[in-house]
Chain A
Amino acid sequence: DAKTTQPPSMDCAEGRAANLPCNHSTISGNEYVYWYRQIHSQGPQYIIHGLKNNETNEMASLIITEDRKSSTLILPHATLRDTAVYYCIVRVAGGFKTIFGAGTRLFVKA
């Protein structure tokens, strides 16, 4: 599975959009981009995933560049409860191994 690079930490003001970047320049054509988050003392939580097209669900939007070498997770209106570590993962579908990196620690401030 391709490796990802994320900034170690980011700040965001409450109510503003949080844009979390992820670089995955070695991504293969059959690899998906997944995002998870881990709120302190809880299990990781699935957020969203995509292959080529941009995706949106009730939690977030995922923007994948045309060359697929990077992506951005957007939390449209961040709240204090969105403070967490966000993990960007690329992996093939059908595999049994999901590798978590260090992620980005997002601090949402009032």
Chain B
Amino acid sequence: DTAVSQTPKYLVTQMGNDKSIKCEQNLGHDTMYWYKQDSKKFLKIMFSYNNKELIINETVPNRFSPKSPDKAHLNLHINSLELGDSAVYFCASSQVSLVQRGTIYFGEGSWLTVV
């Protein structure tokens, strides 16, 4: 079983559309994240959720709206897609203990292309 799974893996869409990426983890973790990796390969944190509560929002445009229905899921909805949103989006989760919270498990990524 995949520990952190995200769908879809590939997504090509037109500017202005609204799209969602879903993420599920079966590790029993209490914290989930969304990271963005752009064409320059820098991996940047977007959001962090702990027990379904938003903890970190790294000045991401409000067109991006994460939703955590429960601790095992963190979905990312993007409104009015722009060319600059093209990137790989990684979902991740981490353990409950303080030390292990730094041990992050990543999904395989969702490759978003906006045309």
Contacts and interface: CB of A to CB of B under 8 A. Distances in A.
Interface of A: 32, 34, 36, 38, 41-46, 49, 85, 87, 89, 91, 93-100, 102
B48 interface: yes
Interface of B: 4, 31, 35, 41-45, 48, 50, 55-56, 90, 92, 98-99, 101-109
Contacts of B56: 96-97
B50 A96 contact: yes
B101 A93 contact: yes
Contact of B42 (A93, A98, A102): A102
B106 A44 contact: yes
Nearest to B47: A96
Contacts of A95: 101-102
B66 to A, nearest CB: 14
B103 to A, nearest CB: 5
